[in-house]
Amino acid sequence: MARRLAGFLVLLLVVSICEAAFLFQPISDSHRSAALELFTPDHGSFKSLEETYEALRTFQILGIEKKPDLTATACRSISETVGSSSSTAKDLFYALKANSIAECKIDKKASKGIISRLNAAVSGASSLLDFYYSVGGLVLIKDQSSEADVHLADAEGVFRSVKAFSQSDGRWRYSSSNPESSAFAAGIALETLAGIVSLASSEIDQSLISTLKNDIIKLFDSIEKYDDGALYFDDKLVDGHEYQGPLSTTSSVLRGLTAFAAVTAENLNVRDTMLGLAKFFLGICVPGDAKDFFNQIDSLACLESNRVSIPLILSFPSTVLSLTRKDSLKVGVSTVLGSEVPSLTVKLVGAFSSGSKDASLVESQELNFDKASGLHILNDLPKSIDVGSYTFVFEVVLHEPEHEEVYFMGSQTKVPISVTGLIKVENSEIAVLDSDLGSIESQKKLDLAGKNAISLSANHLQKLRLSFQLTTPHGRSFKPHQAFLKLRHESKVEHIFVVGNSGKQFEIVLNFLGLVEKFFYLSGKYDMELTIGDAAMENSLLVAIGHIELDLPEAPEKAPRPPPQPVDPYSRYGPKAEITHIFRAPEKRPPQELSLAFLGLTILPLLGFLIGLLRLGVNLKNFPTKPVPATFAVLFHVGIGAVLLLYVFFWVKLDLFQTLKLLGFLGVFLVFVGHRILSHLAAASAKLKSA
Amino acid sequence: MGRTSSTKEDAGALFHSLRSAYAATPVNLKIIDLYVGFAIFTALIQVVYMAMVGSFPFNSFLSGVLSCVGTAVLAGKSNFLSPLFAKDLPPERAFADFVLCNLVLHLVIMNFLG
């Protein structure tokens, strides 16, 4: 995991170093190290044959030494797939592809078995991918096995079936049931058709192959363009499942195109397109994904060794030249993979100042070829090229005319070049002038390169004048991007003024009479600071000049206040004032002894009642003696006691619902018992009365 | 002179006659009178307490006073002990009525007591 992270960081660093648009670097060692980082097998082998093939092919193209254990594991999985009878056409296809690089031996019996299985797959194929894998497998096995007896039955029929999937806009469908068409599928189809032609070229009608040329031209109508001249193919994102992305789509189309060009003698006028495609692939720099990396490298290899045209690209070690260091302009010419090119000359045909449509600043001249470094060098920049940014226009002329057929350069290449240098700052002085007469009250010379501690004073009737001259190394006038004078008051209120120029002379005059309101009527000490800066200026400066005491009149009533200075923006997130909660003062309670005394007093009447009852002669003579009524009587009294106890509990602990529930039970019991005893008593007294 | 003394004598004679008449009432009624008196007296003590300390838990005061007054009223209305009033309602029925009403009253009181 840490290794992957380190690899990712390396890739990030490499990508960040890579140049921006308009400039394309050929494949270099940074690609090789990135490839080694990306294509690392898990525990010695890759997840699938497809990935094994991609890794092997990438290493082969980049010229990285194959590791023997990688080849061994690849051979193992290849022979496993080849020997197994349950492998699909897709597995066989990728196994054979990997084998074309790993070069493991496949025995005769196995190859016979493969051929028969692939033939069966071809006759049973119904979708584009079926045809692709089976036909592609047959092409591969024909190259690899010593048995040259690979025969494609009914080649014309197969050709027509594949062609049946094509659409009128040059795209292809995957199968008859799927209406989605894509350029990615078009590339696959072209490869398949090229494979069919290579297997059985004599059997196929030439007119069919010619119609294919029209399909390719229609497909190329849908090519898309970036501003820097890169061309690419992209499909519409209809279904995320099938969408491949511009890189995969473009490389698929390119593979198909180069395969087709290799088997036919048709002349496809796609040289400009190949150069644009080369720019697209190189513009990606170093991809971060293994699949993207493979697509890029494989496509560049197709561009490098195809029959249509081999694009050449210009590369620049540096596009920023310093006049101080006396840098010379260096240009490299190579193929996309960084290989050698035939002898040629690079000519600088023009240089234009950025944004200007004037005539070229330089004459057409040839660059010298330095054999040692392999670069074309312009030793001395012409005097007309001063500090600034330019667009240089280059042309490449090949020495041998027959190479013109093979290599393609494009007509002219425009490259933005920046030239930097030291700007001379001279004759800088600052003065305080009297407003009406323009006479100088005090004048001081400034040394803008060193330290300054000028001290001036002025009132609102006077003016401040600052002036200096800027000259380029070649003696021309120079207008920098930034030329500001900043005045900062003691209370941190700032005012910034732009210094204007006429030719080389830069001057600013601050008329304090008009600026009084802008300065918010603040008198006092103002610090002065001058900023001169530009991208092409190697000695940009930000220098404190000194300070000026300004005496401004009093602010009238309605004058604008100076804007509040920003406080520390995080201070408002600090803690706020603390709030103390004020509780309601509790009610005054009586002293506890008083309450207890009255509790006792309340019991007193009850005692009085009981004593009174005794004095009256209350008795229990009517209490039933017979056992059944006696129990009922006892239960009745117990029931009443239980209800009263329930009420005590209700007050202390229970809530109303629980109480009512229990009261329900007790009540029913009490009513039943009470009814029994009272009816018994009633019967007894009625008997007594009647008797 | 004779007038005031006669008033005093009259008051004393009235008081004596009341007392003797009361002694003649049946015991049952005296029990009920005693019960009612006890209940009222308890209520009075609560009112005195409230007057002394303020009516802060007013609900408690109310429930206490009303329970006493309520039970007194119930005792007064029910006539279970006196054969004099037992013409249309048997005394046992009246007693059951009294017990039931008291229980309901005390449930409400306990709820209100808080």
Q: pLDDT of A311-343, one tens digit each?
A: 888 888 888 888 888 888 888 888 888 777 888
List, for residues A593-614, the tens digit of each pLDDT value: 888 888 888 888 888 888 888 8
List, for residues A276-316, the tens digit of each pLDDT value: 888 888 888 888 888 888 899 888 888 888 777 788 888 88
The CATH code of domain A424-564 reads: 2.60.40
* Predicted local confidence at residue A4, as pLDDT: 57
pTM: 0.59
The H or E element that residue A254 is part of is helix A246-263
pLDDT for A5 beyond 70: no
Q: Which of A589, A650, A675 sits opposite B110 (nearest CB)?
A: A650
What DSSP line would sit under A452-509, residue for residue? --EEEEEETTEEEEEEEEEE-TTS-B---SEEEEEEEETTS-EEEEEPEEETTEEEEE
* Predicted local confidence at residue A664, as pLDDT: 92
Cα–Cα distances in angstroms (integers) from residue A159 to residues A203, A219, A252, in the given order = 10, 19, 19
What is the interface size between A and B, counted as CB pairs within 8 Å? Answer: 73
Q: Which of A587, A663, A678 sits opposite B96 (nearest CB)?
A: A678
Is A546 in CB contact (< 8 Å) with chain B? Answer: no
Q: pLDDT grade, residue A484 (50/70/90)?
A: very high
Lookup: tokens for A363: 């004459």
In A, residues 578-637, which contact B (CB 8 Å cutoff)?
Answer: 587-590, 594-595, 598, 601-602, 604-606, 608-609, 612-613, 616-618
* Predicted local confidence at residue A2, as pLDDT: 54
Q: pLDDT grade, residue A88 (50/70/90)?
A: confident
* Single-letter amino acid, residue A184: F
Q: List Cβ neighbours of A566 (8 Å cut-off, separation of 6 or more).
A: none
How far apart are alpha carbons A511 and A58 in whole angstroms? 70
Q: Identify any residues that bridge with A464 across adjacent strands, giving them in sequence order.
A: A432, A510
The H or E element that residue A525 is part of is strand A524-533
Q: Residue A395, SS3?
A: strand
Q: pLDDT grade, residue A641 (50/70/90)?
A: very high
List the helix and strand counts (H, then E) for chain A.
18, 24
Instruction: Work out the burial of residue A364: count CB atoms within 10 Å of its CB; fewer than 13 is exposed, 13-18 middle, 19 or more buried.
Output: exposed
The nearest alpha carbon in chain A to B49 belongs to A598
The nearest alpha carbon in chain B to A637 belongs to B99
pLDDT for A176 beyond 70: yes
Instruction: Work out the burial of residue B78: count CB atoms within 10 Å of its CB; fewer than 13 is exposed, 13-18 middle, 19 or more buried.
Output: buried
Closest C-alpha to A660, from B86, B24, B110? B110
Instruction: Mutate one of A599, A609, A665, A687 to test the B interface: name it (highest B CB count within 10 A).
Output: A609
Q: In the CATH hierarchy, which fold is given to the domain comprising A313-420?
A: Immunoglobulin-like (2.60.40)
Q: In the predicted model, what is the mean pLDDT of residues A369-394?
A: 85
How far apart are alpha carbons A384 and A627 in whole angstroms? 139
Fold match between domain A21-300 and domain A424-564? no
The nearest alpha carbon in chain B to A667 belongs to B100
The H or E element that residue A217 is part of is helix A206-220
Q: pLDDT grade, residue A20 (50/70/90)?
A: very low
How far apart are alpha carbons A545 and A466 in whole angstroms? 10
* Predicted local confidence at residue B1, as pLDDT: 52
Q: Quote the minimal CA–CA distance from A563 to chain B in Å.
A: 60
Set of chain A residues whose Cβ sits within 8 Å of the Cβ of B90: 682
Q: In the predicted model, what is the mean pLDDT of residues A345-365?
A: 82
Q: Quote the minimal CA–CA distance from B85 to chain A in Å.
A: 15
Cα distance from N-terminal residue to C-terminal residue, chain B: 60
Closest C-alpha to A234, from A244, A242, A178? A244
How far apart are alpha carbons A283 and A420 in whole angstroms? 26
- Please give the angle made by the CA atoms of A347, A352 and A358, to the nearest 5 degrees: 125
Q: Quote the minimal CA–CA distance from B44 to chain A in Å.
A: 9
Q: pLDDT grade, residue A15 (50/70/90)?
A: very low
List, for residues B47-102, the tens digit of each pLDDT value: 998 888 877 788 889 999 999 999 999 888 876 555 555 566 677 788 888 888 99
Q: Quote the minimal CA–CA distance from B45 to chain A in Å.
A: 6
In chain B, where does DSSP find H-type helix?
Answer: 2-23, 27-53, 58-77, 91-113
Cross-chain residue pair B49–A682, CB shorter than 8 Å: no
So where are chain A's domains?
A: 21-300, 313-420, 424-564, 626-690
* Predicted local confidence at residue A533, as pLDDT: 92
Is B112 in CB contact (< 8 Å) with chain A? Answer: no
Give the relative orientation of helices A155-163 and A183-199 as an angle to the nearest 10 degrees: 170
List, for residues B17-57, the tens digit of each pLDDT value: 888 777 777 777 788 888 899 999 999 999 998 888 877 78
Length of chain A measured in residues: 691
Q: In the predicted model, what is the mean pLDDT of residues A650-679?
A: 89
Q: In the predicted model, what is the mean pLDDT of residues A541-565?
A: 84
The H or E element that residue A193 is part of is helix A183-199
DSSP code of residue A35 = H
- Please give the angle made by the CA atoms of A473, A474 and A477, to the nearest 5 degrees: 85
Indicate the range of A101-110, A280-289, A452-461, A534-543 predicted with least confidence. Answer: A101-110
Q: pLDDT grade, residue A11 (50/70/90)?
A: low
Lookup: tokens for A80: 């496993």
Q: Quote the minimal CA–CA distance from B14 to chain A in Å.
A: 24
Q: Quote the minimal CA–CA distance from B13 to chain A in Å.
A: 25
Lookup: tokens for A630: 């006696």
List, for residues A42-55, the tens digit of each pLDDT value: 766 777 888 888 88
Q: Quote the minimal CA–CA distance from B3 to chain A in Å.
A: 39
pLDDT for B112 beyond 80: yes
pLDDT for A496 beyond 90: yes
* Predicted local confidence at residue A447, as pLDDT: 80
State the average pLDDT for chain A: 83
Cα–Cα distances in angstroms (integers) from residue A655 to residues A193, A256, A658, B112, in the given order = 90, 86, 6, 12
Instruction: Mutate one of A588, A596, A598 to test the B interface: name it (highest B CB count within 10 A).
Output: A598
Is A664 in CB contact (< 8 Å) with chain B? Answer: no
Cross-chain residue pair A678–B92, CB shorter than 8 Å: yes
Neighbours of A355 (CB within 10 A): 7
Is A638 in CB contact (< 8 Å) with chain B? Answer: no
Q: Which residue has the higher pLDDT, A634 or A354?
A: A634
* Predicted local confidence at residue A396, as pLDDT: 87
Q: Residue A575, SS3?
A: coil
pLDDT for A150 beyond 80: no
Is A656 in CB contact (< 8 Å) with chain B? Answer: yes
The CATH code of domain A21-300 reads: 1.50.10.20
Could you give the ipTM of this predicted complex?
A: 0.83
Beta carbons of A345 and A399 less than 8 angstroms apart: yes
Q: pLDDT grade, residue A676 (50/70/90)?
A: confident
Closest C-alpha to A23, from A269, A423, A295, A320? A320
Is B23 in CB contact (< 8 Å) with chain A? Answer: no
Beta carbons of A307 and A265 less than 8 angstroms apart: no
Q: Which residue has the higher pLDDT, A127 or A17?
A: A127
